[in-house]
Amino acid sequence: AFHILRADPAAARGLADALVAVKEALRPCSVCRCFTDAELCSLCADPQRDDGLLCVVEDTREVLLLERLGGYRGRYHVLGGLLAPLKGVQPGNLAVDGLLKRLDAGTVGEVILALSPTVEGLTTARYLENLLKGRPVKVTELARGLAMGTDLEYADEATLSLALEGRTTVVP
């Protein structure tokens, strides 16, 4: 902010024009709803991605985060928010119809709910789970529990309980 205040008016106008140009150029992908400057984003246009895996996220930011990890090769679906009735965000405000349309195509075998473990994220996940019951698709969610390098004595009860419930076998 201080840099802009110190800049000459032409530089500030140039920055403002660049921001407006970005806002006008970007729009949701027609398939996954990630921001793109084309009809299809690069992820939806990539024929090497696994059509059988569909990762449902709140926003494009989560897509970018998961892509940085480099291990996920499936498709994405951006909801555009999380259910928050007190803030006026209802199911009709989310891209749920697009999700159901994609599932109706019959290529998706697993839906991964990659939503934040907040009240809104968990509410949205339970809503989607109920909506997807009875469909021929496996519904999973991200594991929850202890972060790497965490000392057990500093973990809160909810995190420790989730870690205990979601434990994995190391020796059969």
Band (65; pLDDT cuts 50, 70, 90): very high
Is residue 32 over pLDDT 90?
Answer: yes
pLDDT for 168: 77
How far is it, in rounded angstroms, from Cα 45 to Cα 13? 35
Quick one: pLDDT band at residue 96, thresholds 50, 70, 90?
very high
Sheet holding 50-57, edge to edge: 74-78, 50-57, 110-113, 138-141
* pLDDT value at 148 more than 90: no
Q: How confident is the model at residue 3 (pLDDT cuts 50, 70, 90)?
A: confident
| Residues 145 and 163: beta-carbon distance below 8 Å | yes
Q: What is the mean pLDDT of residues 126-131?
A: 96
pTM of the full structure: 0.84
Q: What is the C-alpha separation between 155 and 160, in angstroms, rounded?
A: 6
10 Å CB burial of residue 79 (0-12, 13-18, 19+) is: buried
d(CA 172, CA 170): 7
Kindly state the average pLDDT of the residues 3-29: 91
Q: What is the mean pLDDT of the chain?
A: 92
121 in Cβ contact with 115 (< 8 Å) = yes
